Amino acid sequence: MSGTSLDGLDLALCAFSGSGAKTRVRVLAFDTIPYEEDFRREIRKVFARKEIDFQHLVLLNVVIAQQHGKLVNQFLNQRNIPASEVDLLASHGQTVYHAPRVFHGLAEYPNATLQIGDGDHLARITGMITISDFRQKHVAAGGEGAPLALYGDYFLFSKKGENRFLLNIGGIANFTYLPDNQDPTKAFATDTGPGNTLLDNYTRETFGLPFDEDARLAQNGVVEEALLARFMTEPFFQKPLPKTIGPELFSLDWLKKNLSDYPKGNPNPYNVLATLSYLTASTVAEAIGRVGIDNSAKKGVYVSGGGAHNPLILKHLKQLLPHFPIESMEVLGLSGDAKEAVLFAALANETIAGRVGEGQYLGGIPLVGMGKISLPG
């Protein structure tokens, strides 16, 4: 899995049994291999941009697959695991543009999304059957192609008697809601707004650091109420759930536009980071509040992604959601850092071993097998 933060490639070696509601998984090994800055820079040339060098996009479709294949081989070689012992390689690829209707606003055009890092190249480089390009079937079935976490979350973590919110704070923040009655028609996944993307971009541009580790910079600032109010005028926040978005909207340009009327040097850059941290937490809390769970009902919020390591965001979440226990994904037996990669492995397992039938729905979208199959030979 490679997400919108572009920090590196998450690799999870998983052992599955069963499928659907009977799916069980053991994570045998996990690692995140950081990208070189030159590689990140090449991706940023096409990432979440309306205008790009099209030749560069085409070339990156191969280059990303080559790099991911190299890292997969490295991961297995370090553990003395031959490719012949691995049944499937599940590859999310690299999202370069996410364009749901809620973002592009063109009534005559459908939801769309694009991930690159070609599966055929991965299959040849690694020697493994590769399942890739998962999001297109979801769009074809009427969805927005994101968040796809709903499928794995529902099969692996749904629990009768507890309302669960599986919150992932990556570049964009999203959660899966799993109702206490396990009704698949009531379960859904939604984006809530920016997670780390604005924080990381502003930290990189202003302080020359890749991200604000442990919120050390943000904790030197205070929330600017006027700036927060300006951020909250973004129409996306008022749109009904479920919804999806990406860095195409919540970009450095979006942030600069909201800062443009302030005198140079204001607000204080530490205050900007503090306000962005609160924006992430408050938009998550507002979206969870919309689900309407009674305070007396059993419930929990389980956090994963890079934002799970941000103490300031977690502090705000606990203040804003006083009736919701907020825990790490580790409480449910899975590393929060590994979760996204494991969920795409679960989608690949479902594609090969699942029993998808007509008339089955999950979160309002037909339950479909996702991913394209590439053979190494």
The label of the residue with tokens 């302080």 reads: 207
Q: Say if residue 231 is in the same domain as residue 305.
A: yes
For residue 375, what are its two tokens? 């053979």
The mean per-residue pLDDT over the stretch 30-45 comes to 96
At 358, is the pLDDT very low, low, confident or very high (cuts 50, 70, 90)?
low
Per-residue pLDDT of 269-288, as tens digits, reads 999 999 999 999 999 999 99
Domain CATH number, residue 295: 3.30.420.40
More confident residue, 365 or 125: 125
Provide the number of structural domains found in the chain: 2
Query: Are 124 and 52 in the same domain?
Result: yes
- Give yes or no: residues 37 and 139 share one domain: yes
Three-state DSSP state, 70:
helix
| pLDDT, greater one: 334 or 262 | 334
Q: Is the domain of 14 the same as that of 45?
A: yes
Identify the helix (H) or strand (E) that includes residue 35: none
CA 98 to CA 104: how far, in whole Å? 9
Kindly indicate the confidence band of residue 58, based on its pLDDT and cuts at 50, 70 and 90: very high
Q: How many CA atoms lie within 13 A of 201 on its CB side?
A: 21
Q: Residue 196 and residue 224: Cα distance in Å, rounded?
A: 18
In percent, the amount of the chain with pLDDT more than 70 equals 99
Segment 307-330 mean pLDDT? 97
12 and 141, same domain (yes or no): yes
Question: Are residues 114 and 169 both part of a single domain?
Answer: no
- Res. 104 pLDDT band, cuts 50 70 90: very high
Is 114 found in the same domain as 18? yes
pLDDT tens digits for range 224-253? 999 999 999 999 999 999 999 999 999 999
Residues facing 90 on adjacent strands: 131
Would residue 268 count as lying in a domain? yes
* Residue 350 scores a pLDDT above 80: yes
Are 225 and 349 within one domain? no
Asked if 231 and 344 sit in the same domain, the reply is no
Q: What is the mean pLDDT of the chain?
A: 95
60-72: pLDDT as tens digits: 999 999 999 999 9
pLDDT of 364 above 90: no
Is residue 1 in a domain? no
Burial of 14 (0-12, 13-18, 19+ CB in 10 A): buried
> Which domain, by its residues, includes 308?
150-332
**327 shares a domain with 190:** yes
124 and 140 inside one domain: yes
**Up-side HSE of residue 168: CA atoms within 13 Å toward CB?**
29
C-alpha dihedral sign at 57, 59, 62, 66: negative
The sign one gets for the Cα dihedral 260, 264, 269, 275 is: negative
pLDDT at 229: 96
* 2 belongs to a structural domain: no
Q: Are 179 and 186 in contact (CB under 8 A)?
A: yes
Provide the whole-model pTM.
Answer: 0.91
Confidence of residue 82 (pLDDT cuts 50, 70, 90): very high
DSSP-assigned letters across all residues of 224-246: -HHHHHHHTT-GGGGSPSS----
Query: 159 vs 153, 174, 250, CA distance in Å?
Result: 10, 20, 33
228, 151, 135: which is closest to 188 by C-alpha?
151
Residues whose CB is less than 8 angstroms from the CB of residue 103 and which lie 6 or more positions away in sequence, other chains included = 236, 245, 246, 248, 249
